Structure 1
């Protein structure tokens, strides 16, 4: 079953997209802190001359790049967990991200075993539209989030920024983790609870370990969420819902909220991991043109190049413009988002673009193949 893309958030990013949205800059690692046995937090120092470029809305992410000794390039995207800077203040002096070790993961293994304070990493400027702007939230706003595992990372920034900026706002966090020992940002979440006891509600569920108090262990599937959420909150009355984590949890929460009568426009999603066995299969390749041409506009410059058989638009552009923006190449992060000016494309998968974006003509270049012989896309829109 294909999953509909997330709805457009009712609140907009606090900062406009930088002029060069795919630009990388070298940033120094200020600290590496263990969070769990398999997760660390990286703190990056931003020099004064770059702080304006690294202004971010709560919920946005960074793409980190590593060049291997063999000359290849590895990129991975990690959400910013630190609060967003004030709209009328300078950009951030420090940025903090959480990195969970993935079995066989090239960058996460590098982060856990090799990165140390003083190292320099290539870091793309912030991107992403899974955001909440406190200034645009209505009076008395009440938000909730259902997160799993490292899905806590962007919500930590969102909740901390909202509660600090809006004394009238409330936030409920429902988080699912395997065990207490595997739970990321325990101290940071506990600090929010201590700082805002009347406005921050925390509900923790462990899937593989019983708790001394609280909810019984087990997965947060659709059936359980459908019965749990109404017991916690006036589900349909909330300003907005944020779902973040692995594909299965996000899908279960989306279906539960739909069954409980929550309007689709109030549900905002970001998927951190998609199991191949759970994800919708790509469309048949026979719908793509055997050959084609792509015209791409990027940072004010345009070019036209051939698209080889089987190539995505991103692959064709990258052969000629190494600065084309991308990160995961799996249709999840949305970094390669572009506007389809002319022509027709087929997207294999889409876990990043919202329904209104696809209807308006935006595509993921990493998943798009030309259906018509000529296609024009614009990364600057």
Structure 2
């Protein structure tokens, strides 16, 4: 069960003019709770003018060794980029300092890689480097028979997050780490010409760089347009959907899917959470998460936008319609999982299990 704990900020490292890395101290008694897989994220929360605000940020530090070989992390590091109008990102960049305490949820997310031999690749844009930095650092350190190709897109070199950390990986693993950088708004002295990485350009680039049929896993992370274009490029190159893993950081509004399924006049949701269950009426227009939160404030959630996947639940019975889904893989929805924040009842009775 995901839970919040207060963690002390050990250090605030300014990466660019609009981004920082926050290092969080994890006390000994909580290190097992904050053990994470490479690629997972943390949800941070604070109260602003009486309203609770939650935001999700990916862990960029390498994952600790699996138990019982090693203890959980002593420090967790997350990357935060300023978002226009973003209440939490503005707070992180302008107000948080070393010694402050932040409420932090235990790690979550399924955009992960269990280190194993083989060739892996990623296409990232902007702050999408954050979880992939944890993935590639952990993989290369733990698995001597692994290689990784990183294709990253940024606006300019000055706006590139974790520039030094990625350069250090290139120095440490020159034969196992391949780095390709594309800047959309700045010409480079060497390397690829500037410009946006669209589907057509990615198709040619990937084909030229890699033996596509030998890549064991692809990791796509960043803005929706880049991730969508990269997925289409990979599918055009014959890559199986099961080898493509994606996490989207930014989605424009107006992407909800119109539903032709009529909503029932009255409906209830039964939810199991942390071993306890309850049944409650769904008010008109509410998502199932909103109904559960009215009665169980400890229900897990972060973005409420269908992006982070924190509110994933198993649909035990009944039917729902989801407004949008940018977090669950096709195999997860086929197995019966839904995003509670985007789900509305399509039958009079719906049952969810948050514990599965």
Give TM-score, length-normalised by structure 1.
Answer: 0.92
Distance 2:41 2:260 in 1: 31
Aligned length: 354
Aligned to 1:298: 273
The answer on 1:58 being equivalent to 2:38 is yes
Distance 1:39 1:242 in 2: 22
Runs ≥4 residues deviating over 4 A: none
Deviations 1:169-201 (A, max 9, x none): 000000000000000000000010000000000
What is the CA distance between 1:286 and its match in structure 2? 5.8
What SS does the corresponding residue of 2:98 show, helix, strand or coil? coil
Distance 1:150 1:42 in 2: 14
Aligned to 1:81: 60
Distance 2:346 2:240 in 1: 34
Q: RCO (CA 8 Å, sep 6+): is it higher in 1 or 2? A: 1
Gap regions ≥5 residues in structure 2: none
Aligned to 2:170: 193
Deviations 1:298-324 (A, max 9, x none): 000001111001100000000011000
Q: Is the 8 A contact 2:121 2:148 kept in 1?
A: yes
Q: Is the 8 A contact 1:290 1:310 kept in 2?
A: no
Q: Is the 8 A contact 1:170 1:200 kept in 2?
A: yes
Query: Which of 255, 266, 269 is residue 246 of structure 2 equivalent to?
Result: 269
What is the CA distance between 1:66 and its match in structure 2? 0.7
In structure 2, relative to structure 1, the CA distance for the partners of 1:242 and 1:143 (3 Å cut) is same
Aligned to 2:79: 98
What SS does the corresponding residue of 2:295 show, helix, strand or coil? coil
Distance 1:342 1:93 in 2: 41
Deviations 1:242-293 (A, max 9, x none): 000000000000000111111111111000111125x4x3223763223311
Gap regions ≥5 residues in structure 1: 1-19
Q: Is the 8 A contact 1:288 1:345 kept in 2?
A: no
What is the CA distance between 1:230 and its match in structure 2? 1.0
Query: Which of 93, 98, 121 is residue 112 of structure 1 equivalent to?
Result: 93
Q: Is the 8 A contact 1:64 1:122 kept in 2?
A: yes
The answer on 1:323 being equivalent to 2:304 is no
Aligned to 2:287: 312
What SS does the corresponding residue of 1:163 show, helix, strand or coil? helix
Give TM-score, length-normalised by structure 2.
Answer: 0.98
